[in-house]
């Protein structure tokens, strides 16, 4: 009975041989596809590209530091890779932030579906410095159609090196031949092993360092820590090892990170100066288009990010992005960027400025660029 039913379904006797063949082939294709999907491979098939660049979708500014900490802290059995898996769209971490209307956040109703291209190791990395303006630079770069970048900080060359190169490559977005892959992890600049590890992977990687007056950078760093630990001792007490002698505590990371010449020396043992671009964190705020021009030249990109992309937001006190393509509103960085700094005694700041002066001079000499911090 069952057999005769099937015979009826597959009874092609009335069809010509040619038609039979095409029906047969069609069925083979359908069965193969069904088998493929049931085996779980459908997800890896190329999907339509709703937004070829996906840069707009990926715009995440000011990743919530606490959330980042929580997601990326290896001691909590997490990793950047797990962020990718846990959240719909790697870059949408910021969508969990509380924020004002102008915060840059992804449009969650559009899915990221760029499965074309391949995942490659970054050709350019923003290696530092913490609180220099690295997030702003990355997000401004992501407007460029030939740039694709990881939203969160991978921390591969400092925290997750043991996860292996394939783990790192897998974090990268897919890129087409014409596009470059980028990531930013500001702690690489001050990580002793980072240059050696990166050099072992590729000596051709372009390195971008966003630098900012080390004194304001230290205050910014302190402000960030204070926002997470309200009971933190004062800036003054952390700055000095001995307040009577005025000896600066260089073991405090907020101070140590600002000794740029020392960290750069470590990098120059592996990479020539020509591989570096030093971006002024100050100019990134006062003249974002100008600084972006230099960055695009360095990366060999057409100068497509220009002054028409920026406007100065008076409330935020920083440049923000005018309506990016496909978006209905302007976008500023999140609340964790551009926090008001606490008042620090002018004497403390002066002492710190004196401390940094020789290191700054050395840094200007090494880079051939006077950043005007003194
Ligand atoms: N356009 C724009 N909008 C907001 N903020 C801007 C912008 N450009 C540069 N900056 C400065 O970036 C500082 C934060 O630096 P980072 O992004 O490198 O910080 S982090 O290391 O990733 O935490 C941040 O430091 P604070 O002002 O101390 O919060 C800003 O001064």
Q: What CATH number corresponds to the domain at position 242?
A: 3.40.50.300
pLDDT higher than threshold 50 for residue 360: yes
Q: Which two tokens stand for residue 320?
A: 């923000």
Residue pLDDT, tens place only, 68-101 = 333 333 333 333 333 222 222 222 223 222 222 2
Residue pLDDT, tens place only, 175-194 = 999 999 999 999 999 999 99
| 17 or 167, higher pLDDT | 167
Report yes or no on 31 lying in a domain: no
- Sheet of 147-149: strand order equals 147-149, 180-184, 124-128, 206-211, 276-280
Task: Classify residue 359 by burial, with Cβ atoms within 10 Å: 0-12, 13-18, 19+.
Answer: middle
The residue range of the domain holding 70 is: 65-367
Report yes or no on 52 lying in a domain: no
Instruction: Tell me the residue length of the chain.
Output: 374
Task: Count up the domains in the chain and report the number.
Answer: 1
Report yes or no on 98 lying in a domain: yes
Q: How far apart are CA 182 and CA 91, in angstroms?
A: 14
What interface predicted TM-score (ipTM) does this complex get?
0.99
Q: How far apart are CA 89 and CA 73, in angstroms?
A: 20
> Ligand 1 center to residue 62 CA distance, Å?
8
Residue pLDDT, tens place only, 93-127 = 232 222 222 333 333 323 344 578 999 999 999 99
Ligand 1, residues at Cβ distance < 6 Å: 130-136, 186, 220, 223, 284-285, 318-319, 333, 337-339
Q: Taking all residues of the chain, what is their mean pLDDT, rounded to a whole number? A: 79
Backbone angles phi, psi at 118, to 5 degrees: -135, 160
Report yes or no on 100 lying in a domain: yes
281 pLDDT band (50/70/90 cuts)?
very high
Can you give the pLDDT at residue 24? 67
Q: Which two tokens stand for residue 124?
A: 């350019």
Can you give the pLDDT at residue 240? 96
Report yes or no on 287 lying in a domain: yes
Q: Give, for ligand 1, the residue of 64, 93, 131, 189 to mutate: max count of ligand atoms closer than 8 Å to Cβ.
A: 131
- Above pLDDT 70, what percent of the chain? 70
> Ligand 1 center to residue 107 CA distance, Å?
22
């Amino acid at each position: 009975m069952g057999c005769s039913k099937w015979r009826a379904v597959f009874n092609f006797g009335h069809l010509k041989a040619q038609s039979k063949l095409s029906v047969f082939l069609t069925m083979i294709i359908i069965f193969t596809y069904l088998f493929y999907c049931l085996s779980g491979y459908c997800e890896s098939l190329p999907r339509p590209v709703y937004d070829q660049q996906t840069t707009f979708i990926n715009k995440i500014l000011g990743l919530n530091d606490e959330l980042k900490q929580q997601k990326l802290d290896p001691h909590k059995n997490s990793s950047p890779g797990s962020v990718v898996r846990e959240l719909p769209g790697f870059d949408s971490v910021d969508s969990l932030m509380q924020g004002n209307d102008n915060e840059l956040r992804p449009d969650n109703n559009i899915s990221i579906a760029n499965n074309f291209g391949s995942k490659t190791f970054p050709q350019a990395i923003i290696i530092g410095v913490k609180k220099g303006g690295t997030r702003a630079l990355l997000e401004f770069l992501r407007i460029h159609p030939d740039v694709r970048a990881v939203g969160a900080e991978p921390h591969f060359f400092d925290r997750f090196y043991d996860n292996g190169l394939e783990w790192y490559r897998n974090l990268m977005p897919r890129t087409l031949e014409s596009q470059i892959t980028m990531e930013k992890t500001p702690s690489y600049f001050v990580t002793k092993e980072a240059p050696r590890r990166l050099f072992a992977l590729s000596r051709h990687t372009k390195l971008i360092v966003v630098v900012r007056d080390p004194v304001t950078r230290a205050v910014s760093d302190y402000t960030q820590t204070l926002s997470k630990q309200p009971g933190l001792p004062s800036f003054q007490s952390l700055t000095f090892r001995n307040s009577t002698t005025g000896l600066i505590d260089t073991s405090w990371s907020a101070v140590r990170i600002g000794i740029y010449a020392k960290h750069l020396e470590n990098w120059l043992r592996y990479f020539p100066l020509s591989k570096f671009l030093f971006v002024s964190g100050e100019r990134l705020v006062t003249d974002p288009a100008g600084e972006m021009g230099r960055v695009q030249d360095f990366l060999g990109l057409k100068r497509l990010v220009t002054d028409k992309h920026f406007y100065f937001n008076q409330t935020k006190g920083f440049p923000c992005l005018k309506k990016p393509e496909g978006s209905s509103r302007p976008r500023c960085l999140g609340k964790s960027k551009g926090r008001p700094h606490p008042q620090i005694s002018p004497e403390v700041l002066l002492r710190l400025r004196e401390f940094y002066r020789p290191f700054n001079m050395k840094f200007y000499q090494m880079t051939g660029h006077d950043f005007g911090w003194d």
